[in-house]
Amino acid sequence: MLYVWYRISPEPRFYYLYHNHNILNMLGEKLRQKLKKPLEKIGSLIAKTGINPNIFSSFAILWAVIAAYFIANENITIGFIFVILAAIWDALDGSLARAEGKVSKFGNYLDALIDRYVEIIIYLGFAFAGFQIEAFLVISGSLVVSYAKARTAIITQVDNHGWPTIGERLDRLVLLIIAMLISIFLPSAKIFGFAVSSMSLFLYLIAIIVYIGSVQRIFYAKEIIEGNKKI
Show which residues are catalytic. Answer: 115
116 close to 60: Cβ distance less than 8 angstroms: no
**Strand, helix or coil for residue 1:** coil
**Longest Cα separation, the chain:** 63
Q: DSSP letter string over 130-177?
A: T-HHHHHHHHHHHHHHHHHHHHHHHHS---SPPPS-S--HHHHHHHHH
- Residues paired with 197 in a beta bridge: 188
Q: Using the 8-state DSSP alphabet, how is residue 5 labeled?
A: E
